[in-house]
Structure 1
Amino acid sequence: MTKWDKILITTIIVISLISIGGITYYKSKGQDLYGIIEVDGEEIKNINLLEVEKPYTIKIENGVNYNIVEVSSGSIRFIEATCPDKDCIRIGKLDSPGEISVCLPNNTTIRVSGPGVGEDLDSKTY
């Protein structure tokens, strides 16, 4: 390898790293991430997940059934439910715009909303 080959490779690596860092910074800059809780299709809570300093729980009662939702910095999830299968709990943390978890027996939905929701195809499929 000649001296110029090494300089070219080093330059390409540096430019790539700067580009990746810039893209990451741009994507995270000033974005809001909201956790939305709905019961029977009606929004009951809208929480800015990036403003949450300390994790907390919310109990959502729907008749004799209930769900407990954990809200933490940047994510939201079901942690307890009276439904028989507990599929809503198995979904885990939601932390990206467009993610959703539904407890059908209790008619309760949590989802994450933020910039870019509905603009592109989903990047994740379950």
Structure 2
Amino acid sequence: MPKIGDRAIGTSIGNHSWGYYQYVQCSDCDYTRWVAEKTCRTSNGRCSPCSLKSRKGKSILAMRGDKNPAWKGGRLLLKSGYIRLSIYPEDPYFEMGKANDGHVVRTILEHRLVMARHLGRCLERWEIVHHR
């Protein structure tokens, strides 16, 4: 039986990885497990169930969009100079947006959204918008 703090290579403990693992104990419930060393440096020292309990019901879904402290208005400046905006299902131009896998929010380039609002309709994919 390993002791707390022991190190081993993943393949020697039945893992498929060649990375180093450390045997650690949960600070709340005393559950012991092997954890990748790179995870040990960033973790809070708890097992998954205890970590969930410590969040006190705070859901990741509650931190989406403008509820997130890192929210920057849904605008992202791309390296090419274009601005990409986040749009939500209630937006009438939502269908124009580019779908992101697994996300409710879609993104659209700002100049295309401005033109669609000016015309009062969604733009087709093949329509090219020239802008200043």
Aligning the two structures, in what range does the TM-score lie when normalised by the shorter sequence? Answer: under 0.3
Greater strand content: 1
TM-score by length of 1: 0.23
Q: Structure with the greater relative contact order (CA < 8 A, sep ≥ 6): 1 or 2?
A: 1
Q: Which has the larger radius of gyration?
A: 2
Superposition TM-score, scaled by structure 2 size: 0.22
